[in-house]
Amino acid sequence: METTLIILKPDAVQRGLIGAITSRFEQKGLQVVGMKLMRISQELAAEHYKDHAGKPFYAGLVRFMTSEPVVVLALRGMGAIGVCRNLMGATFGSKAAAGTIRGDFGISNSFNLVHGSDSPEAAARELALFFKQGEVLDGKRAIDQWVYDHSGGKPE
C-alpha cells in the first residue's frame, strides 16, 4: 500500500468543494488516513515548493497557497500516487479531461484546485512536512475486502 499527500488548494476550499473532491478519492477506494484544515505559512510554502524557487511563477504560487486555508489529506491505497494523479487530471483545468477533478471543477490555468505528490520520494517528503508523527493513522478497513481482490493471497 502506498500513502500520498493531496492538498485541496485555497480555490477548492473557498468554492466549497472539499466534500466533492474528497469523495472522488474515497469513491475510487482510497482510504483517508490523515486530514486537516490549515493555513500554510510562508516558511512551509517555501519548503514545500523549494524546487520551484527562482521560476517565474514561484512568488505567485506561494502567495496563492498562503492566501486562505487548505485541506491536506494523506490517502492510502494500492498505487495511490498514480491513482490520485489520474483522478486529478491535467494540470490546467482548461485542458483536463471531463471526469477528472480538474476537468469537472476547474477552468483556470492558474487555480487548479489540487496538489498531489508525484513520486514515492515526494510523497514521503511532503507527508512529513504537513503531518506530525502519529497524525497519519494505520489501520485496516472492513471494506478493503470489497475494494481489492484478495483471492490470490495478496490484494490486487
pLDDT digits (tens, 9 = 90+) for 54-70: 999 999 999 999 999 99
Q: Say if CB 75 and CB 123 are below 8 A apart.
A: no
pLDDT digits (tens, 9 = 90+) for 74-86: 999 999 999 999 9
* Domains of the chain, earliest start first: 2-133 (3.30.70.141)
What phi, psi does 125 have (nearest 5°)? -65, -45
HEC string for the chain: CEEEEEEECHHHHHCCCHHHHHHHHHHHCCEEEEEEEECCCHHHHHHHCHHHCCCCCHHHHHHHHCCCCEEEEEEEECCHHHHHHHHHCCCCCCCCCCCCHHHHHCCCCCCCCEEECCCHHHHHHHHHHHCCCCCCCCCCCCCHHHHCCCCCCCCC
The β-bridge relationship of strands 2-8 and 31-38 is unpaired
10-residue averages of pLDDT along the chain (156 residues): 97 98 98 98 96 93 97 98 98 94 93 96 98 94 89 84
Q: Catalytic one among 48, 52, 115, 150?
A: 115
Catalytic, 115? Answer yes
Q: Say if CB 90 and CB 102 are below 8 A apart.
A: yes
Q: Say if CB 6 and CB 116 are below 8 A apart.
A: yes
